[in-house]
Amino acid sequence: MDNGTGIFASSTERMAWNIAARHLLSGQTDPVAMIVEGIEEERRRCVELLHAAAGDGAAIASCLADPDRARPLSPVR
């Protein structure tokens, strides 16, 4: 349980409720927008962790940093 309160089963569940609540309170009802925000938030967190571990000058794979601008993978032969 999260922080002994018994409200959330995990930090992931707490994050999901946080994102959903922000969207619902602002009148947003599109579940895709909620999921997109969660994925982007987690991606940013991963990049921040990589920079913290490897230094600010570390090269971050484009598929993680900005997958929409990443080069497509070469086909496996």
**What distance in Å separates the CA atoms of residue 63 and residue 54, rounded to the nearest whole number?**
17
**What distance in Å separates the CA atoms of residue 12 and residue 31, rounded to the nearest whole number?**
17
Mean pLDDT lowest among 23-27, 36-40, 55-59, 72-76: 72-76
Predicted TM-score of the model (pTM): 0.60
Please write down the HEC assignment for all residues of the chain.
CHHHCCCCCCHHHHHHHHHHHHHHHCCCCCHHHHHHHHHHHHHHHHHHHHHHHHCCCCCCCHHHHCHHHCCCCCCCC
pLDDT digits (tens, 9 = 90+) for 8-48: 889 888 888 888 888 889 888 888 888 888 888 888 888 89
The pLDDT of residue 2 is 46
